[in-house]
Amino acid sequence: MNHLRSSELFTAAKEIIPGGVNSPVRAFRSVGADPVFISKASGSHIFDADGNDYIDFVGSWGPMILGHCHPDVVAAVKRTAESGCSFGAPTELEITLAQLVIDAVPSIEMVRMVSSGTEATMSAIRLARGYTGRDKIMKFSGCYHGHSDALLVKAGSGAATFGVPDSPGVPQDFAKHTLTANYNSIESVKTLVAENSGQIACIIVEPIAGNMGTVPPQPGFLEGLRKLCSDEGIVLIFDEVMSGFRVALGGAQEVYGVVPDMTTLGKIIGGGLPVGAFGGKKEIMSLLSPSGGVYQAGTLSGNPLAMAAGIATLNLLKQPGFYQKLEEKSAYVANGIAKAAKDAGYPLFSTRVGSMFCAFFTGNQVTDWDSAAGCDTKAFATYFRSMLDEGIYLAPSQFETAFVSIAHTEAELDRTIAAAAKSFRKL
C-alpha cells in the first residue's frame, strides 16, 4: 500500500505537535511503523489520506459499536447542532441520556456527565475519598484509568510497596497514596488491605482488563473484591469506560453479576463524541457539588452534541437481539484468527469477552500484566504490519483490545481471517 500522503502529514505534524500525534499510541512506535492518517470512515471501514481502505477493528478505541457514521447518530448530531453546539447550561438531553444509563447499568442510581474517561475516573476517586474520609487508593498493574497524576503509577518491587510515579511530572507525594496490586490476584489485594487497614478509600479496577490486551477476570476475583470492599468500608469502582455497553447493555457487571459501588463510563455513551460519566449509589453521588461538598465541574460536561449521539446510540443498543448478533460476529472472527494461528503452527493465546478480543503472541495463559508482558512484541509488530498491508486496521500495540462492530459483515470477517492466516505464515 502507498502511504506517501500519510508520511508527509506525519512529517509536518512532528514539527508542531509533540511526537506528531495527540495521543501516544497513535504514533505506531511499538510496531515499527509510521502512523496512517485517517480521512474518513463508514460502517466497518476506515480510509486513510492516501485513499487506502481498511476493515477497522479499532473503532476509535471502542465507541463505534454501531460502526462509523450510523445514519441515526449522524442525523441526531446534525439536528442538535442546528440548535447550538454548546451552552454551558442544563439541557433536556442530559436527563434523557442519564436515565438511559441508569436503566441499563445495575450499580448506577445517579450519574454525572463529564467529557472524558480520564475525567470520570479522576472525579470518581475524589468522590470516594470524600465519602470515606480516607486518602489511599488501590489500582492494578496493567489496568489503565486515564492519565491523572494519582493513576500514573506502576507496581513496586513488592506487593506492599507504595506507588512510584510512572511519568515525569507526577510528584512522589501524589503517587505515595496509590497502592498497586496484581490483577486477578485477590491475595495481593488482601495483603495490601491488611497492611493499610482503615486507610484505603477505594479500589478501582477494569472488571475486564482492556489495556494490557483483553484479560478477563478469573472466577472469584471480582466476587472477592466485592466482599473485601464491603467488609472494609472501601468503595469499589468498576472502570467500565471500555467494557460499559460493550460486552452487554449493563456492561461487565451484568455479565459477571458483581455490582460495584461506583462505575465510570465513556466511549460508547457518546456515540463517538467526547464524553465520560461516573455514577453509583445515591448516598455517594449526593456528596457531589452542588448537592454536597465534593467539587467537580466542566463547561462541556453534558455537551448537547455528545448527549444526542449517545441517546441515538443507546436506543439502538436496546433493540432485541443486538448483543446476540454482536456476540456471534465476535466469536466468529476471534475463533477464526485463533484457528489460523494454530493451523500455521504459531503459538497464540486468544481471549474474548463479548465484542472485545485479543490475540496474545504467546503460548502461555495470560491472566495479568506479568504474563501479558511475556508476549513476543516483535512478532506482533510483524503481524500488525502484514495485516495493515492486507487492509486490516488493528490497534498498533500488543497490549490493546480489538473491537467488533455490528456493521462488520461475514464477508469482511472472512477476509480478516484469511489475512491473519497469510500473516501468521510469514512469522
Buried b (16+ CB within 10 A) or exposed e, 255-283: bbebbbbbbbbbbbbbbbbbbbbbbbbee
Structure-block grid coordinates of residue 379: 512478532
* Residue owning grid cell 508482558: 373
β pairing state of 136-141 and 153-154: unpaired
Helix (H, G, I), strand (E, B) or coil at 211: coil
**Active-site option among 131, 139, 261, 267:** 267
Q: What SS3 string covers 225-245? A: HHHHHHHHCCEEEEECCCCCC
Instruction: Characterise 126 by phi-psi region: left (phi > 0), alpha (psi -120 to 50), beta (else).
Output: alpha
Q: What sections of 159-240 are H helices per DSSP?
A: 172-175, 186-195, 221-232
**Active-site option among 48, 239, 261, 368:** 239
The angle at the Cα of 253, spanning 201 to 116, to the nearest 5 degrees, equals 65
User: Cα 320 vs. chain centroid, distance in angstroms?
Assistant: 25
Please indicate whether residue 14 is annotated as part of the active site.
Answer: no
Please indicate whether residue 267 is annotated as part of the active site.
Answer: yes
Question: For residue 170, which of 137, 148, 188, 192 has the smallest C-alpha distance?
Answer: 148
**Active-site option among 144, 256, 383, 393:** 144
For the CA atoms of 87, 93, 95, 100, the dihedral, rounded to the nearest 10 degrees, stands at -140
- Please give the positions annotated as active site: 144, 239, 267
